[in-house]
Structure 1
Amino acid sequence: MRDDLSLRSGSAQRAAVIVVGAGAAGLFGAIACAEASPGQSIHIFEAGREPLAKVRISGGGRCNVTHACFEPSLLVGHYPRGSNALRGPFSRFQPRDTVAWFEQRGVRLKTEADGRMFPVTDDSGTIVDCLLGEARRLGIAIHTGCAIAQLRPDAEGFWLTTRAGAEWRCDRLLLATGSSPGGYRLALKLGHDLVPPVPSLFTFNIPDPALRDLAGVSVETVQLSLALADSPTLTQSGPLLITHWGMSGPAVLKLSAYGAMGLHRQRYRAKLTVNWLPALKQDQVRQTLIALKQGQGKRQVAAFSPFPALSRRLWQYLAQHRAELGTSLNWADLSKAQVQRLVNELTRGDYAIAGKGVFKDEFVTCGGIPLPEVNFKTLESRRCPGLYLAGEILNIDGVTGGFNFQNAWTTGWLAGQAMAAALASAD
C-alpha cells in the first residue's frame, strides 16, 4: 500500500479503473474487475489510514461474513430498504457464492445456530488478509490516507484530484465509500440525489431504573411492537437483552432497522409494546395465573416465576414494579383486576423509548443514493455513465446477521464484473 505522499508530483496519472473506498464493497469490486479483466490498471483510494477497517472490527473482531440464507427470495426479506432492488443481484451472487469464493482461496466459513457465518478461525484478520492478498496478487494498488478532493467527468472518463494535489484520470469509477459524507458529496457532484442518512441498527434507551437494574437478563423470544406516527405498527420477534440503558438484542436491532426513518423523525421518542410470552395466548396466560391463585394460594406471587421463559428477577420486576402487586402479596389475595394487570404486563406492556444507544458490533445507516438512479444489472449510475456504486453508499441496509456484508459482496462483485465488461467492449 502507498500513501498520498508518493503521488504529489508529476502530471496526471492514468488508470483503467479507480475505486474510491477500500472497504468490503470497494475491495471486492476491484478484485472482481481484475479477475474478469486481467492486466488492467486498477487503483483504490482510501481516506483512512488502513483498508477494510470496518471488516476488521466487525462481529466483535470475528467478522460476520454473511448469513446462511441461500434462497434469494427469502434473503431479500432481511433488508428494510433495498429488498426489491436486490432480487436480481442475489440471483447472480448470493451467500452461497460468497462462501465458495472464500473457500476457493483457503478461507473456510462456519455457520452458527442463528445462521450467521464466520471464518472458522473466529478472526476477522483471516478475511482481511485474504482480500488484501488477492489484491496484491492481481496487482491492484491501494493508496491509504488519500482522500479525493475534486472529481469531474468528461467524455473519456473522470478526472480526480486528491487532497494532496495529485491528479488522476480513469476510464471507469466505482464509488464504494459507505456512509462517508465525503462519498455522498462526490456522488452529488456527479448528478445524484441523496436520501439523508440516519442511523439503523441501534438499541433502545428506556428510562426505567428498575428495568436497568436487570442488565444482563435475557429472554429467548419476545414479540415487540413499535407505534410510529406516520406508519403502520411495526413488529419483530426474537431474543431480547436488557441492558444498563434499556433494551437490546436481535429483536430490538431488527425493529430499529425497520423503524429507523420514523424513529429519527420522532427524535427517538416512541411507544414500545412488549409481549414477553408470545408462545402463549392471553387467555392461556390468564388461566395459568388463576390456577396458581387456586392451587398455590399461600405462596407469595413474587416467590417464583410460573413461566420458564422468564427468570425470577424479570418476573419480580414485572409483578412488583410493572403490575404494582407489592412484595408480599399471596396468590390467594390476587384480585381479578390485579390478575388482569399482570396479564397485560406479560403480554402487552408499554415502554417509553427515550433515545437510542449504539450497537457496538456494527454501525449501519439507512439512506444514501436513491435506488432508481442505479441500474442494478450492472450497478452503473443512470445519471453519470461510467460511474458505478456499491455497498452502503446506496440506500440499502440489512438487519444484523451478516446481511450488510452480503450487500457489499454482491454489489461490489456485480460492479466489478460490469466494469471489466465495459473496458473490454471499449478496446
Structure 2
Amino acid sequence: MNKNFDILIVGGGAAGFFTAINIAEKNPKLNIAILERGKTVLEKVRISGGGRCNVTHACFVPNDLVKFYPRGEKELRGPFHQFCSGDTIEWFERHGVELKIEEDGRMFPTSDSSQTIIDCFLSAVKKLKIEVLTGHSVQSIFKGDGYWKVETNHETFSCQKLIMTTGSNPKIWEMLHVIGHTIVPPVPSLFTFNIKDARIKDLMGVSAFAKVTVKGTKLEASGPLLITHWGMSGPGILRLSAWGARELFAKNYQFTLEVNWLNETTHDEALETLKELKQEHAKKTVAKKSPFDFPNRLWESLVLAAGISVETKWADLSKKQLINLASQLTNGQFQVNGKSTFKEEFVTAGGIDLKEINFKTMESKLHENLFFAGEILNIDAITGGFNFQNAWTSGFIVANAITK
C-alpha cells in the first residue's frame, strides 16, 4: 500500500519538527508527515545542554553569528539575515516558551528543562495535525516523475516534496550519495586533548585564559583553558578542535600544542615583565605567588618547569632562568596523544557538500523538491546553542520556500 503526503520529512529531531510546524502554520491545507527511525522523537533536544536544551545564543548580528561556524560560515550569512537568534526568541515566545540569557550568552528555556521545548513541539504538531510516525527506518528513496517515493521497514510513502533532516546519519548519506550528492566524510569536531605532562599532572580543575596553537600549522584559538585529569579542555581547546577538525584527524590526533598562558603577550614582553618583577620583589620567593592573572598552582608548576627551585628568591634568578620562565609562560610545548569526546554533545564535521545546496531555499541543486535542514549538511558549530540555531534557520527557510 502506498501512502500519499504533500510533504514528507525524514528525521524526527529539532530541524524536522521545526520545519514541519512552520510549513503547517503557513499552509494548514498541506498533508505532512514526519518519519523517525527511533521509538522516540527529539532525543538530542532532550539531552542537549545537560537536559536544559541550549536553544540558541544571544548573538543577534548575522555577520557576527556566522563566525561560530567552522563549516558553513560563508553559506549561513544569507539565511541568518532571514531568520536569526532574535527571530528564534520571538518564535518560541509566540509558542508559549520564554527563553533567558545566561552570562556566557547561551539561551535556555526559563524552566531550565528541555522537556519544555519538546512539549511545545509535540503540542504544535498535534494541533496542526502533522502525522508523526516512529519506528520507521528509511530503506530507500526514489525519484519518480514529479514525486518522491520513500520506502521504510514498514511501508512505502510517496510525496511531492521530500525534506531530509536526519543529522549525521551515514545510512541516509549513502542513499543521497547514490542519487548523486557529494558527501564530505564525517570526522569528530568538538573534542578535548589527551596530554600526559608533569607540568599539569596535579592541576585538575585549574583554568586560565590562554592562546593555543597547533605547532607547524595556522591553527590557533584563544579562550579559557581547563586542565583535566586526562589533559586539556575548555572553550579555547574546543574552538581549536572545531576549526582543526580535518587537520587534526589527518594527524591522527598526535601533535604538539603550544600554549601561551599570557594569551597575546610575546616572549620578549614576558621577559621584560619578569626582569621588572626581579627588581620589585627581590626578597620574595618566586614560586610563592603568581604575578599574572592565573592560579598560583599553575604558576608554581611553570616555575619548577623552568628549572627554578621552590625556595629561590627573585633576586637570585639567573638570566637563563628568566629566559626559561618566559618560554614556559608564552610557549609551553605539550605533546597531544589522542582525544576525548566532549560531554554528550558529540558533533561531527561532514555531510552534504554545501556547493550542492541553494541557500536561498535549502533545496538541492541536483534534484527538484528535495530539501535539507540541520546537521545533515556539512555545517557545524562550537557549543553554545549554535547548532540548534542552524536547525531553526534552515528549517524556517525550507518552510518559506515550500509555502511561497
TM-score range, shorter chain: over 0.9
Conservation of the 8 A alpha-carbon contact between 2:211 and 2:221: yes
Q: Which residue of 1 aligns with 2:188?
A: 199
Kindly provide the amino acid, as one letter, of the partner of residue 60 in structure 1.
G
8 Å contact from structure 2 (residues 3, 157) kept in 1: yes
Q: Distance in 2 between matches of 1:213 and 1:385?
A: 58
1:179-328 map, 5 Å: 179-219=168-208, 221-227=209-215, 232-278=217-263, 280-307=265-292, 309-320=293-304, 322-328=305-311
The 8 Å contact of residues 238 and 250 in structure 1, kept in 2 or not, is answered as yes
Q: Deviations over 1:106-148 (max 9, x none)?
A: 1111112221111111111111111121111111111122110
- What is the distance in 2 between the residues matched to 1:296 and 1:380? 66
2:132 match: 142
Residue aligned with 1:303, SS = coil
Contact 2:267–2:331, Cα closer than 8 Å, also in 1? no
The one-letter code matched in structure 1 to 2:298 is: L
Distance 1:394 1:290, change over 3 A: same
Partner of residue 177 from structure 1, selected from 166, 169, 182: 166
Give the conservation status (yes or no) of the 8 Å contact 2:187–2:348: yes
Alignment partner, residue 101 of structure 1: 91
Q: Specify the alignment match of 2:60 in structure 1.
A: 70
| Aligned counterpart, 1:20 | 10
- Structure 2 unaligned regions, length at least 5: none
Aligned counterparts of 2:246 and 2:240: Cα–Cα separation in 1: 11
Partner of 1:345: 328
User: For the residues of structure 2 that align with 1:227 and 1:124, how far apart are their CA atoms?
Assistant: 40
Q: What is the aligned-residue identity percentage?
A: 49
Provide the C-alpha distance between the structure 1 equivalents of 2:98 and 2:302, rounded to a whole number of angstroms.
45
2:79 corresponds, among 83, 89, 96, to 89
Q: 1:115 aligns with which of 105, 124, 127?
A: 105
- Looking at structure 2, the residues matched to 284 and 389 of structure 1 have their Cα atoms a distance apart, in angstroms, of 51
Deviations 1:242-272 (A, max 9, x none): 1111111111111111000000011011221
Q: Which amino acid aligns with 1:183?
A: I
Which secondary structure does the structure 1 equivalent of 2:142 belong to? strand
TM-score (norm 1): 0.91
Alignment of 1:354 with 2:342, yes or no, is: no
- What runs of 5+ residues in structure 1 fail to find an aligned partner? 1-10, 422-427
Give the letter for the 2:303 counterpart. Answer: A
Q: Please state how far the C-alpha of 1:34 moved relative to its aligned partner.
A: 0.9
- What is the Cα deviation at residue 32 of structure 1? 1.2
**SS at 2:340 equivalent:** coil
Aligned to 1:7: none
Q: 1:279 to 1:382 in 2, by over 3 A?
A: closer
Q: Structure 1 residues 353-362 or 402-411, which shifts more? A: 353-362
> How many residues end up aligned between the 2 structures?
404
Verify the 8 A CA contact 1:200 1:365 in the aligned structure 2: yes
Given that 1:201 and 1:399 are in contact with CA atoms closer than 8 Å, whether structure 2 keeps it comes out as yes
2:353 is matched with which residue?
370
TM-score, with length taken from structure 2: 0.96
Residues 227 and 137 of structure 1: CA distance in aligned 2, closer, same or farther (over 3 Å): farther
Q: 1:279 to 1:226 in 2, by over 3 A?
A: closer
The CA RMSD measured in Å over matched residues stands at 1.6
Q: Return the letter of the residue paired with 1:344.
A: S
Q: Deviations over 1:30-73 (max 9, x none)?
A: 11111111121111111122111111111111111111111111
- Partner of 1:251: helix, strand, or coil? helix
The aligned counterpart of 2:70 is 80
Query: How far has the Cα of 1:25 moved from its partner?
Result: 0.9
Question: 1:209: Cα distance to partner?
Answer: 4.8
- Residue among 152, 171, 177 paired with 1:162: 152
Which residue is equivalent to 1:5? none
Verify the 8 A CA contact 1:191 1:384 in the aligned structure 2. no
Residue 361 of structure 1: CA displacement?
Answer: 4.4
- Secondary structure of the corresponding residue to residue 200 of structure 2: helix
Give the CA deviation at 1:281: 4.8
In the alignment, the residues of structure 2 paired with residue 190 and residue 172 of structure 1 have an alpha-carbon distance, to the nearest angstrom, of: 16
Give the Cα–Cα distance (whole angstroms) in 1 for the partners of residues 76 and 360 of structure 2: 10
C-alpha displacement of 1:344: 1.0
Give the C-alpha shift of residue 328 in structure 1. Answer: 2.9
1:413 paired to 2:401: no
Quick one: which amino acid aligns to residue 234 of structure 2? G
User: Displacement, 1:21?
Assistant: 0.6
Amino acid corresponding to residue 316 of structure 1 in structure 2: E
